[in-house]
Structure 1
Amino acid sequence: MSDDGVPVPGNGYRKGPVLLRRGQVPTTTTDQRLLAGPSKDTDWLHGDPWRVMRIQSEFVEGFGALAEIGKAVSVFGSARTSPDHPDYALAVAVGRGLVEAGYAVITGGGPGIMAGANQGASQAGGLSVGLGIELPFEQGFNPWVDLAVNFRYFFARKTMFVKYAEGFIVLPGGFGTFDELFEALTLVQTHKVTEFPVVLVGSEYWQGLLDWLRQACIQRGMISPADLDLITLVDDPDEAVAHVVERGAQLRAAEEAAVREAAAAEAQAAAETGTRGTVRGPRTPSGA
C-alpha cells in the first residue's frame, strides 16, 4: 500500500535513487525530517547543511533530465482511479491528444489518472514523463513512463512540474490534485510565473468547487471575479487540449510582443540619452 492507501505493486521504500526494504525502511520520510521542529538534540545543526546539498542535487538532476524535453503539459489526477473507470479513458485521450498537438506529457508517474495520461502519450508515440516522490512504501512508476525522475522533496518535484510545462490539465483527484491545482493558480495569480492555461476536465466533478469559489470566496472578497478566468472547465478531452494549444499560443504571442516593446523602449531611451549627452564643439569660421 502507498501512504494514501492505494494498493500498488512491489514493496519497499524509495529514498531518492535508493530502494530500501525490510529492516532498512525508515519510520519517517525525508520531508518529515526536514520540516521537523528544533529539539534539544543539536545534531540538526550539523545535518542541515548536508540536506542543502541533497536538495541542490535534486534540482541539478531534475534540470538535467528535463531540460531537453521540449514543449510539455503537466497532467494531474487521482492515483486511485481504476483502469476501467471513465476518468481513466479521459486521461488516455488527454495524453494522446497532447502528443498529437506536439507536447510531451508530464505526470507524477504513479497509477490511476497519471498512468492513463502516460499511456495515451506513450501509445501515441510521444514522450511520457513521470516525476515520482519518496513514499513510505514503494509506489513505483507506471509502465507507460519513458523518462522517470524520482524525488525526495515535494517542493523540488513541484518546481519541475511548473518549470517544464506550458499548461496544466487537471482531471478528478483528491488532496494531492487540489494541492497541485491551487498552487498553480496561486503562482499565476501572484505573477510569480508567467501565465499559463489551467484546464479542469469533468464538470460533474469540478462544478461544485467553482460554484463555491464564486459564491463564497468572491462574495467575501477573498478572490476577485477575474481570478476565475484563470480556470477553464471542459468535459471533452479534445477541447482541453485545444484550449491549451490556443491559449498557449496567445500567451506566447503576448509575451513576445512585450519583449519587443521593452526592447524598443530601451533602444529609444538609449538614443535619447545619447542625443542629450552629445556636446557640440565651436564652429570653425568659413575660409579658415
Structure 2
Amino acid sequence: MTAQALVIDVREDNFAAAVLEESKRRPVVVDFWAPWCGPCRALGPVLEKLAEEMAGAFLLAKVNSDENPELSRSFQVRGIPAVKAFRDGKVVDEFTGALPESAVRKFLEGIVPPPGDDLRQAALAAMEAGREDEAERLFHEALAANPRNDAARLSLARLHSAQGRWEEVNADIAAMSPAFQLEDEVQALKALLEFSQAVQSAPPMAELERRLREAQGDERAQALYLHALRLLLQGQEEPAMEELLELVRDHRQYGDDLGRRTLLQIFTVLGARHPLVEKYRTRLARTLY
C-alpha cells in the first residue's frame, strides 16, 4: 500500500467522501493542524509514522484549519493540533495537543489494534500468570506479524529484564524506533540496563558491606553506590534510595554528583505515581537545598 493511501489532505469540498464515507469501511483519524503551529509540526510526523506502521488499518486525513475554517467550526475545534477519530461517520474519540508517541499509540490502538496486537495481549496475560516461556513465544509471534510493533518489543524487553537477560534487553531496545526509545518507559529500561552493567564487575555484597563499615572517602562512596544498585536490582527500592541519599549528603562530589543523578534515574524507573518517588524527591530536595 502506498503512502498516498495511508495519509491524505482533506478539504471542505471532499470531507464527506474522504472522511465520513471512508469511515464506514475503516477508521479515519483526522488531524486538524496549521503551518504556524509548533505542536502540530511535532505531532504530525508521529501520526504519519504510525499510519505507515499500521499499514492502512486506518486512514490519516489532514485538515489545514486555516484553509478550512468551516470544518474547524463544525467539529468544534478550539485548539490545535486537534485529532478526531471517525467510525461509521461519527467521532468516536479525540484529543487536543501534541502527545508523546506512546500516548498517540495507545489512542490509535483504542481505535484499531495494530497487526499482531492480539498476540501481544495474549503474551501479557501469559506473563501476568507466570507463564514466561509462553509469553516470550507470543511476543516473538507478535513481532513476526508486525516487526515495528514497539509496544510488543517493550513488553518483551521487560520480560527479559525481569529474568536478568540484560544483553537481550539491550538488543530489544536497539531494535525499537529512535522516537520510541525516547519514551519514559524505555528510558527506565535503559537505566536498569546501565545499573546492571555497573554491578557486573562489582565486589560481592559481603565485601561491599565490609567497605561500608570500614572504608572512608571515595572508597566508601563507591561501596555505597554499588551496594545501592545491587539492592535495587534485587527489588529493594527503598533501602537502595536511602543509601543513594546518603551518597548525596556525604559524598556530593563523587562521580560528578552520581548519587543525585542515579536517584533521578530511579524516579524514572519507578514512575511518577510510585509512593517512594514523591517521598524521596522531597527528601532529595531538602538534602540539596
The two structures have a TM-score, normalised by structure 2, of 0.25
Structure of higher RCO (CA pairs closer than 8 Å, 6+ residues apart)? 1
Q: Which structure's residues are more often helix, by fraction?
A: 2
